[in-house]
Structure 1
Amino acid sequence: MAPGNGTCYKPMKATSNGVFQGDTPLDFALPLAILQICLVVALTRALAFVLRPMRQPRVIAEIVGGILLGPSALGRNHEYLNTLFPVKSLTVLDTLANLGLLFFLFLVGLELDPKALKRTGKKAFAIAMAGIGLPFIMGIGTSVVLRGTISKGVSGPPFLVFMGVALSITAFPVLARILAELKLLTTDVGRMAMSAAAVNDIAAWILLALAIALSGTGSPLVSLWVLLCGAGFVIACVVILPRVFAMMAQRCPDGEPVDEIYVCATLCCVLAAGFVTDTIGIHALFGAFVVGILVPKEGAFAGALVEKVEDLVSGLFLPLYFVSSGLKTNVATIHGAQSWGLLVLVIVTACFGKIVGTVVVSLLCKMPFQEALAVGFLMNTKGLVELIVLNIGRDRKVLNEETFSILVLMAIFTTFITTPIVMAVYKPAKRESKTEYKHRTFERQDPSDQFRLLACFHSSRNIPGLINLIEASRGTEKRQGLCVYALHLMELSERPSAILMVHKARKNGLPFWNKIQQSDSSNQVVVAFEAFRQLSRVVIRPMTAISAIHVRPVTAISSMMDMHEDIC
């Protein structure tokens, strides 16, 4: 994209005086940025809508949308490219994109709970190490082939490490979204994949920090100083920040709004950490990620931070990073039998290393073959973190344009095949046929048996009518032994925090309400059904009463298109 003749462009002014005074809005930074954001958001949302029936994560649509807006597709028209994405505007675009990415990596850190990592079993840890080790080694082997063909002249050690990291990464946020879409979060496969992916994510960031330190243009001593300063920064954060955040969280009790000054202070801390790590020479994203991990996950504080940040970041700023990456991706550079053969080699190496390594260790850990295969394909999920690694390598001249494009296509392919393959190889529950339900009618119910009802509702507004219907179902004799499963159907939105909501609502595979961690509306549901249960108590002798109705509030979080599967 950048011209090779070193031409200097005049900085763009922020705002125009309007078309009536002879100004062209697209020659000014603010109106051009607004148009770019609107175009990117519209295209990525449209692609996400098209891919929705295939249950593909939104990151696929965002990566593909960025590529379509770049020189691989629409960018072949130079008039379009020079009008909507001129070279002089890319500094503003990249700044906004990286600022959004900074806060998004903070949100990713919020999803990772260090206490949960400590409880990670040996099995999940072994699977994670296998999912990193074998593809990392095979990535180094692939890098030797690439250096001898299309990546001649690049620095050896940084290129080896970047290739190893690129092939061994598992995208934790994307994996969580796929598991939620496939209703596998509470299965053994889902829990194992999430635990292993969390360990993988931490290890990938450590390896990425190493790769960035090695990619510097200075002497090995400079790289050593970068690593030591980075380690010192992490130690300082671990010692200081948890105490500060714990003090903030204690002053933000559940059920009360979080003081704005604490939210502002935390966001400023994210920016400051990004500044420090960028000054050290690692990357600003690393500091934001570390701060996100150290924020306490209990209580309302973390939820308030997510509410304040995620919609603006995920909805507007983050798509800019994908178009910024797409402008650097030119699929046309992959030409000839050699380049396409190398693309196939990279894809096969990435899939083989990750899947085979994970499956073999899973089988050694006594997992059934079907579950081990599903975990292997799930751990092969790429996403935004993969794109971050590739862009850092591209910016630091470790990856050239052709290698960058090959690795981007590899990330798209491996993520795209995850959902359909997992759906094909792993079916956790076989549905009963209609004939097995033949004699389960109300008329054939034994009056002495417990009568169980499944009552579904979307919001607390449905509860009064639902309780009246349940009361009528007891009949005139007010039979005892009525068990009501009150199923609260909640929509799984595109927001990243929806995954956090699933984790809180689904405990140990049973989605029972957690009164402490749920929202006010959820507590209202629990209180309403508890009051109904108390009022339905039956007196069997003086001073003694038993509950005639047992109510079990349950929640199911799914997308609207397949919510019926939670009922049927």
Structure 2
Amino acid sequence: MAFAVAPDAVLAGEVAVAIVAAWAARTAARPLRQSAVVVEILAGVALGPSLLGLLPGDPTGRLFPASGRGTLTSVAELGLLLFMFAIGWELDVSVVRARRTATIAMTAANFVVPFAVGAALAFALYPAYAGTRSGHRVTEAVFVVYIGVALAITAFPVLARILGDSPLRNTPVGQTAMAMAAGTDLCGWLGLALVVIAASATGSAASWTTLPLVVVYLAAMFLIVRPLLRTALAHVRAVGSGGTLPLVVAAVLASSYVSSAAGLHAAFGAFLLGLVMPRDSRAVLMLDIAEPLERTGAILMPVYFVATGLSADFHTLGWAGFELGFGVVALASTAKIGAVAAAARICGTDRREALILGVLMNTRGLTEIVVLDIGLSIGIIDAHLFTALLLMAVATTAVTTPVLHRLTSAASPATPAPWRPGSRPDRDAPSPSGPARTA
């Protein structure tokens, strides 16, 4: 006898499965020295059609019925928006400026070379893999820029998590890596924003409407919203009503709504609000905002991984699809590690530290997943290419921690690296990094 289950109860069951699966994966993978983001992504993929869906009786369809996918995606998007706000807030562009010429040169190499490799690859892939939007094939230019950005990404929050658990955390190499990742992510999000605007516009009239809206939105965020946030947060803290967190969450959701209405993805609105968030009372705000959001993210982000995993089906890739996926892994890794290591050597570092920087910059993680999810949702790529690029994101992130451990195991954790690109000892003392967000 079959019993009808209310939609809200179905959603509750789906969220429960996602949370338990993520926890079990993290626990099982702890001895492997893997980043939490890698095992949680794999847990989400395993719950989808790639593994669980292959069993008799379609367990994936029973646990996550198609009728409830939209609601599950909405819950996952809420976790994504809070996560994107955390990235924007943690991204301190002044860190990039503080390390001047050498770091900026290496950051340029970290973005430009992989972008060029990705763009060249996109020209070859466009005839077979470009997606459609509203029945219209995306333009080659949009597809090329998107794939270039996808290969150029470095996951700033995942890198923060990895460095936090390594002896490099407060060394010049670790701080330089964080500055490079911040600059690279900023370039990546700006490039992706332009791609989303172009892909979302269905004609010249739409383009002319979207661009002014985005310009007005960006100006309003920096010139109006930023000082308003500073005043509002100071007032709320003075009153002591405990309203800081509700105020910020409401601002994140409102910014996401306006961003989507202006022609960008909602994730950009959350990211931009984090970027304009006042940093003059950061220590206080960490207690009021960062820690509660981190706990909330620990619950909601596994839901995002599951929703993403349900879109990936490695079973349908076939041999050609896996060849593509591993080929992209090789291209992306060679471009990142080679470009950064070469730039670091030119700037005067030794080979081991240059290789360490290259390996760290090859970390893509959740930031790459977000980029791929946006591309799939607006039709720039299809499900087949999404799955192949997801393989690249997971593989490049999975190898970072064990390779980094091998490279640093011979060196004493207490011995700081001697190389400081373009720095003075009295100016570039290691600064404590903020706690890693859920990643």
TM-score higher than 0.5: yes
* Whole-Å separation in 1 of the counterparts to 2:36 and 2:368: 15
Of all paired residues, the percent bearing the same amino acid is: 30
SS at structure 1 position matched to 2:58? helix
- What's the CA shift for 1:150? 4.6
What is the RMSD of the two structures over their aligned residues, measured on CA atoms?
Answer: 2.6
Judging by fraction of residues, say which structure has more strand: 1
Displacement, 1:118? 3.8
TM-score by length of 2: 0.88
Q: Which runs of 5+ in 2 are unaligned?
A: 132-136, 415-427
Once the two structures are TM-superposed, the CA of residue 194 in structure 1 deviates from its matched residue by 0.1
CA distance in 2, matches of 1:510, 1:402: 43
Q: CA deviation at 1:142?
A: 0.9
Alignment partner, residue 247 of structure 2: 265
Matches of 2:431 and 2:336 in 1, distance apart? 31
Q: Distance in 1 between matches of 2:406 and 2:151?
A: 24
- 1:131 paired residue number: 110
Look up the match of 2:384: 402
Deviates more, 1:283-292 or 1:213-222: 213-222
Q: Distance in 2 between matches of 1:431 and 1:278?
A: 46
Match of 1:508 among 424, 429, 433: 429
1:38 is matched with which residue: 8, 16, 25?
Answer: 16
Q: How does 1:408-427 map to 2 (within 5 A)?
A: 408-427=390-409
Corresponding residue number in structure 1 for 2:45? 67
Alignment of 1:515-554 (within 5 A): none
Instruction: Give the 3 Å change call, closer, same or farther, for CA 263–251 of structure 1 in structure 2.
Output: same
Q: Structure 1 residues 381 and 395 mapped into 2: Cα distance closer, same or farther (>3 Å)?
A: same
2:419 match: none
CA contact (8 A) 2:312 2:386 kept: yes
Determine helix, strand or coil for the equivalent of 2:312.
Answer: coil
Higher relative contact order (CA 8 A, sep 6+): 2
- 1:262-309 deviation digits (Å, cap 9, x = unpaired): 432222111111110111121111111111122222321343111332
Question: In structure 2, what residue type is equivalent to 1:81?
Answer: T
Counterpart Cα distance in 2 of 1:297 and 1:259: 21
Distance 1:53 1:229 in 2: 50
In the alignment, what sits opposite 1:164?
148
Alpha-carbon offset, residue 39 of structure 1: 0.9
Which AA in structure 2 matches 1:34? Answer: A
Higher helix residue share: 2
**Cα contact 1:142–1:349 (8 A) shared by 2:** no
1:490-501 matches, cutoff 5 A: none
Contact kept? 2:99, 2:176, Cα under 8 Å? no
Preserved CA contact (<8 Å) 1:273 1:288: yes
- What is the TM-score of this pair, normalised by structure 1? 0.69
Distance across 2 between alignment mates of 1:420 and 1:123: 27
- 1:87-486, aligned counterparts within 5 Å? 87-151=66-130, 155-216=139-200, 218-251=202-235, 258-299=240-281, 300-312=284-296, 314-336=297-319, 338-427=320-409, 429-430=411-412
Which deviates more, 373-382 or 287-296?
Answer: 287-296
How far the C-alpha of 1:102 sits from its partner, in A, is 0.8
Aligned counterparts of 1:240 and 1:85: Cα–Cα separation in 2 = 43
Taking the TM superposition and a 5 Å limit, the aligned residue runs for 1:3-14 are: none
| Bigger-Rg structure (1/2) | 1
* CA displacement, residues 522-560 of structure 1 (integer Å, 9 cap, x when unaligned): xxxxxxxxxxxxxxxxxxxxxxxxxxxxxxxxxxx99xx
Q: How many Å apart are 1:217 and its aligned residue?
A: 5.2
Quickly say closer, same or farther: Cα 1:379–1:227, change in 2 above 3 A: farther
Gaps of 5+ in 1: 1-21, 433-506, 512-516, 518-556, 559-568
Contact 2:154/2:363 (8 A) holds in 1:
yes
Does the 8 Å contact 1:55/1:181 carry over to 2?
Answer: no
